[in-house]
């Protein structure tokens, strides 16, 4: 996962890949003039728009709970309604003092005009929550990246000693996400979101610090070997791109399935850090904050890495450092999956995405003559 602008020339100078953080987009350009230097824009052809792993997975695979999660946030904003599986069973009711529609113990009497802005705000509650959650995840990701680069446990890698302050970075994220108006006379569309973010700032920083400290504790105990981190990947075969979090060597004594890797001292793993909350929903199937889709994501990274000539991984790993202090590692091998099986799975997801896009474009084109004929009458 990338959180900054990155440029990389790949495939012996054939492809220039740019990642623009503000747009959250990748741009690939083929080499068209080998007589010009790499830094000359005329050396490169027209932009290709490769699909990122998040787009491929999000548009192809289901993710149980997302629709109900968004609905639940809206209902909570409107009436403080909650419905979830707690430690003592199903919990349903109304949170005290929460809900825009309440006037004491009765609902407000509102006109359509008065109700409209409340409904609009509730319908977008998930977007505000998602953006804020992503900011916390970004901070944890950045903190982890800085730490592993500074402590690579690899004699072939020089430590990169860059300081990182979680509170300072999170404050900067808030200012970027919810900018102040240039003048006092301008409307402030982010006032409510900024106020909420500042109100919860200290608690959010504590959560991010908790997740980070738990990761550091694991890293110091296990001492994984860092081969690489945050590298841009691009597939010529599939026009797919992404940025993996880490290429790790896990000491065999710390791998849960050592019998599968006899003779190896380090188990090479294509790895992603995740900060998703754990879920008690059986349909979501992520009790440790790890979704099955994360292994498809890792497999796409590994598939592209192999195409680019990286040493092949022995396993895929998802590290879950959660904001409640929970911490888990899940290897693909623990789930009975080999790396090759996961790569085939990833290729199937890419094919499903391509066929869906092709059929949707075809359906729209197929309808054009019928629409034109109706307009003629």
**DSSP secondary structure, 72-140, as one string:** HHHHHHHH-EEEEEETTEEEEEE-TT--TTEETTEE----HHHHHHHHHHHHTHHHHHHHHHHHHHHHH
Quote the percentage of the chain above a pLDDT of 90: 59
Q: What is the domain count for the chain?
A: 1
Given pLDDT bands bounded at 50, 70 and 90, which one contains residue 338? Answer: very high
Residue 45 lies in a domain: no
Residue 374 lies in a domain: no
Of the candidates 332, 325, 321, the residue with the CA atom closest to the CA atom of residue 141: 321
Quote the percentage of the chain above a pLDDT of 70: 92
When mean pLDDT is compared across 1-10, 265-274, 353-362, the lowest value belongs to 1-10
Of the candidates 257, 316, 232, 236, the residue with the CA atom closest to the CA atom of residue 25: 232
H/E element holding 291?
none
Q: Would the pLDDT of 74 be above 60?
A: yes
pTM: 0.83
Tens digits of per-residue pLDDT, 33-52? 999 999 999 999 999 999 98
Residue 17 lies in a domain: no
Cβ atoms within 10 Å, residue 271 = 25
pLDDT of amino acid 2: 46
Q: Would the pLDDT of 59 be above 70?
A: yes
3 state SS of 210: helix
Residue 39 lies in a domain: no
> What is the token pair recorded at 262?
């006899």
Given pLDDT bands bounded at 50, 70 and 90, which one contains residue 86? Answer: low
Given pLDDT bands bounded at 50, 70 and 90, which one contains residue 116? Answer: very high
Residue 155 lies in a domain: yes
Q: Would the pLDDT of 189 be above 80?
A: no
Tens digits of per-residue pLDDT, 275-324? 888 877 777 788 998 999 999 999 999 999 999 999 999 999 999 998 88
319 strand-pairing partners: 273, 329
The Cα 321–Cα 331 span in angstroms is: 15
pLDDT of amino acid 286: 86
pLDDT of amino acid 115: 93
Residue 197, domain extent: 50-353
229 strand-pairing partners: 246
Given pLDDT bands bounded at 50, 70 and 90, which one contains residue 252? Answer: very high
pLDDT of amino acid 224: 98
Residue 20 lies in a domain: no
Question: Distances in Å between the alpha carbon of 294 and those of 81, 231, 332?
Answer: 31, 17, 10
Residue 371 lies in a domain: no
Residue 248 lies in a domain: yes
Residues with Cβ within 8 Å of 43's Cβ and at least 6 positions away in sequence, in order, are: 31, 32, 33, 34, 36, 37
3 state SS of 191: helix
Query: How buried is residue 368: exposed, middle or buried, by Cβ count under 10 Å (0-12/13-18/19+)?
Result: exposed
Q: What is the mean pLDDT of residues 354-371?
A: 88
Question: Distances in Å between the alpha carbon of 279 and those of 52, 79, 289, 362?
Answer: 26, 23, 7, 39
């Amino acid at each position: 996962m990338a959180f900054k602008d990155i440029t990389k020339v790949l495939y012996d100078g054939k492809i220039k890949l740019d990642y623009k953080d503000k747009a959250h987009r990748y741009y690939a350009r083929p080499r068209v003039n080998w007589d010009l230097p790499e830094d000359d824009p005329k050396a490169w052809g027209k932009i290709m728009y490769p699909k990122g792993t998040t787009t491929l997975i999000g548009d192809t695979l289901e993710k149980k709970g997302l629709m109900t999660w968004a609905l639940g946030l809206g209902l909570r904003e409107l009436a403080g309604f909650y419905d979830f599986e707690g430690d003592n069973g199903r919990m349903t009711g109304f949170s005290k003092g929460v809900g825009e529609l309440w006037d004491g113990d009765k609902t407000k009497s509102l006109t359509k005009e008065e109700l409209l802005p409340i409904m609009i705000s509730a319908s977008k509650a998930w977007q505000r929550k998602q953006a804020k959650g992503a900011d916390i995840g970004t901070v944890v990701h950045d903190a982890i990246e800085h730490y592993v680069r500074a402590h690579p446990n690899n004699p072939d890698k020089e430590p990169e000693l860059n300081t990182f302050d979680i509170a300072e970075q999170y404050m900067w994220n808030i200012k970027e996400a919810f900018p102040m108006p240039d003048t006092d006379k301008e409307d402030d569309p982010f006032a409510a979101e900024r106020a909420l973010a500042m109100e919860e700032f200290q608690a959010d920083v504590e959560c991010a610090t908790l997740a980070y400290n738990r990761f550091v504790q694991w890293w110091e105990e296990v001492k994984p070997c860092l081969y690489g981190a945050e590298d841009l990947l691009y597939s010529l075969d599939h026009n797919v791109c992404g940025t993996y979090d880490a290429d790790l060597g896990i000491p065999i004594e710390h791998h849960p399935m050592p019998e599968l890797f006899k003779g190896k001292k380090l188990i090479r793993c294509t790895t992603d850090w995740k900060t998703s909350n754990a879920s008690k929903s059986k349909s979501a199937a992520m009790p440790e904050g790890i979704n099955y889709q994360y292994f498809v994501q890792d497999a796409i990274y590994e598939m592209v890495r192999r195409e680019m000539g990286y040493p092949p991984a022995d396993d895929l790993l998802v590290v879950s450092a959660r904001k409640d202090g929970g911490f888990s590692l899940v290897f693909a091998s623990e789930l009975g999956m080999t790396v090759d099986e996961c790569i085939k799975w990833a290729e199937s997801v890419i094919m499903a995405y391509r066929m869906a896009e092709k059929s949707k474009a075809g359906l729209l084109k197929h309808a054009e003559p019928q629409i034109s004929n109706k307009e003629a009458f």
